[in-house]
């Protein structure tokens, strides 16, 4: 088994185990991480009240850092409650040392100033709050305040247009590597929208606000889940999407322990599609309100992506019933004629033939469907495509883009790239089988899925075994010595994987 990510949590011990380090440890263990803790204070609290906060000595605080550093470095560090000025100073020194030695370690700062469910319980002494940003901001990668904490720390109003907030953050703190995640649970709205600010980029992660009672430890859990997903080496937008989905699942499974607000549940890896947030972006069109026509899942399977009519005809003659014509050159000679031929071949062989990118020509000549990348979604006339009766396939490269694609109600969702690819340079990292399995579990029963990217004959069976509805192939066929034989072999392999899957279900 591979080693789990090591995550350090710096914060206070909560005697009720509703929040604080106890909530951090449960969250990390729920997500398969190895959690280690650095205690800043011991609290006497229950579900109703914080009775007493007793900071540890600086000597004890420093000793915890040093003894852990002597043994193992973490993949991420989550810092929360620092109860006095001395510990803020000490923590900033340790973070500065770690960032100098290991700049790749992600540091998430959750500036806890009050228990979220008991706003009168001030956990952070006021003199410490003054120095929090000055001392901590140079060394953190993410800061996750709620509305009250954001306004207290920055003196910037959180009740204004998000673009204005972003402008004021840049004006006050400059453009840096720091991501601000402004938690929106305190907004008096029907939706709970967390806003991510990084330089000029502004993005919202919105979910329906749940009417639940057991909400203690929400902030702790969100920032710890974010740290864990970063520890698994997910990109920032994916990690935030996953953390938001995890919190929604945790709120839905909260339990009543004690007389006050109970703790959150621990729902496991975020594989419930209904918990994914809606992605809000100022520079992106709203989602397509009507769903695109369905594909015939029974005709999915081996999905060749080819760049010529000759190749398309070859794979269809071998029994392929889903294929894609991908001609990237918009000025290619005879492009219109090739698209028309592809459409005719699809009808002749009763196959689902998708046209990559050229959606206007696909509409003009009556194609079965089009396949678009994430960038294409921002410029294509999706309403026109849907009204023309075309199917829509969408490329995605992680949780964030999957959540964004859901707004368009596509006919299928492509998941990639699974392995390093020879056909083009990819800005994202290879997903691998484990991530692919998570994506398939997330989308199963909701959207048909296609695995794509770097899949050859040797890797094909393992990819098909994840339960994906289709496996897209490029060079595995086009560079084969006997492409006809390889195509027929892969069709048989996929059918066999489906039979095994059906046996497992029964």
DSSP string covering 66-103, please?
Answer: HHHHTT---SEEEE----SHHHHHHHHHHHHHHHHH-T
Rounded to whole angstroms, how far apart are CA atoms 472 and 301?
8
DSSP bridge pairs for 303: 472
Tokens coding 17: 């185990």
* Dihedral angle, C-alpha 456, 457, 458, 459, nearest 10 °: 50
Is residue 119 classed as helix, strand or coil in its secondary structure? Answer: coil
Tokens coding 195: 């806003």
Rounded to whole angstroms, how far apart are CA atoms 453 and 430?
8
Is cis: bond before 480, omega within 30 of 0?
Answer: no
| Nearest Cα to Cα of residue 104 among 33, 170, 177 | 177
Ordered per-residue pLDDT tens for the chain, 506 residues: 589 999 999 999 999 999 999 999 999 999 999 999 999 999 999 999 999 999 999 999 999 999 999 999 999 999 999 999 899 999 999 999 999 999 999 999 999 864 444 434 444 544 445 578 889 999 999 999 999 899 988 989 999 999 999 999 999 988 778 999 999 876 667 788 999 999 889 999 999 988 898 899 999 999 999 999 999 999 999 999 999 999 999 999 999 999 999 999 999 999 999 999 999 986 555 566 789 999 999 999 999 999 999 999 999 999 999 999 999 888 878 999 999 999 999 999 999 999 999 999 999 999 999 999 999 998 999 999 999 999 999 999 999 999 999 999 999 999 999 999 866 666 678 999 999 999 999 999 999 999 999 999 999 999 999 999 999 999 999 999 999 999 999 999 999 988 776 655 44
Structural domains in the chain, sorted by start: 6-281 (3.40.1190.20), 297-505 (3.20.20.70)
Is residue 58 classed as helix, strand or coil in its secondary structure? Answer: helix
The structure's pTM equals 0.94
Helices first, then strands: H and E counts in the chain: 17, 18
* Type and span of the H or E element at 36: strand 34-45
| Nearest Cα to Cα of residue 468 among 425, 426, 498, 503 | 498
């Amino acid at each position: 088994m591979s080693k789990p990510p090591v995550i350090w949590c710096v914060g206070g011990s909560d005697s009720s185990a509703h929040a604080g380090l106890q909530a951090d440890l449960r969250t990390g263990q729920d997500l398969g991480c190895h959690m280690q803790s650095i205690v800043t204070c011991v609290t006497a609290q229950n579900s109703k009240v914080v009775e007493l906060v007793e900071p540890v000595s600086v000597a004890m605080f420093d000793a915890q850092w040093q003894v852990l550093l002597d043994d193992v470095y973490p993949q991420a560090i989550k810092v929360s409650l620092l109860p006095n000025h001395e510990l803020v100073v000490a923590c900033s020194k340790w973070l500065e040392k770690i960032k100098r030695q290991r700049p790749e370690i992600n540091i998430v700062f959750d500036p806890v100033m009050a228990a979220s469910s008991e706003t009168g319980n001030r956990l952070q002494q006021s003199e410490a709050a003054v120095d929090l940003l000055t001392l901590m901001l140079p060394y953190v990668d993410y800061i996750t305040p709620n509305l009250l904490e954001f306004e207290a720390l920055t003196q910037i109003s959180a009740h204004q247009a998000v673009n204005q907030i972003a402008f004021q953050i840049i004006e006050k703190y400059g453009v840096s590597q720091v991501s601000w995640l402004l938690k929106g649970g305190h907004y008096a709205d029907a939706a709970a929208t967390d806003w991510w600010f990084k330089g000029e980029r502004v993005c919202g992660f919105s979910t329906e606000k749940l009417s639940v009672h057991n909400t203690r430890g929400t902030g702790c859990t969100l920032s710890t889940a974010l740290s864990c997903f970063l520890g698994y080496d997910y990109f920032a937008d994916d990690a935030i999407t996953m953390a938001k989905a995890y919190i929604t699942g945790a709120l839905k499974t909260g339990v009543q322990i004690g007389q006050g607000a109970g703790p959150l549940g621990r729902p496991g890896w975020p594989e419930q599609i209904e918990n994914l947030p809606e992605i809000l972006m100022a520079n992106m069109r709203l989602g397509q309100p009507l769903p695109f026509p369905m594909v015939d899942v029974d005709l999915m399977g081996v999905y060749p992506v080819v760049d010529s009519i000759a190749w398309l005809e070859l794979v269809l003659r071998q029994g392929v019933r889903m294929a894609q014509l991908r001609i990237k050159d918009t000025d290619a000679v005879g492009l219109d004629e090739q698209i028309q031929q592809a459409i005719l071949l699809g009808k002749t062989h009763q196959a689902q033939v998708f046209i990559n990118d050229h959606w206007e020509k696909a509409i003009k000549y009556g194609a079965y469907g089009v396949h678009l990348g994430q960038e294409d979604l921002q410029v294509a006339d999706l309403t026109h495509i849907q009204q023309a009766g075309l199917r829509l396939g969408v490329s995605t490269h992680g949780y964030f883009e999957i959540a964004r694609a859901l707004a368009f109600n596509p006919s299928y969702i492509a998941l990639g790239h699974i392995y390093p690819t020879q056909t083009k340079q990819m800005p994202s990292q290879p997903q691998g089988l484990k991530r692919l399995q998570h994506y398939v579990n997330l989308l199963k029963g909701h959207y048909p899925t296609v695995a794509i990217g770097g899949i050859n004959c040797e890797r094909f069976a393992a990819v098909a075994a994840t339960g994906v509805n289709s496996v897209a192939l490029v060079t595995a066929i086009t560079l084969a010595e006997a492409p006809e034989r390889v195509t027929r072999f892969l069709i048989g392999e996929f059918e066999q994987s489906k039979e095994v899957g059906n046996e497992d279900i029964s």
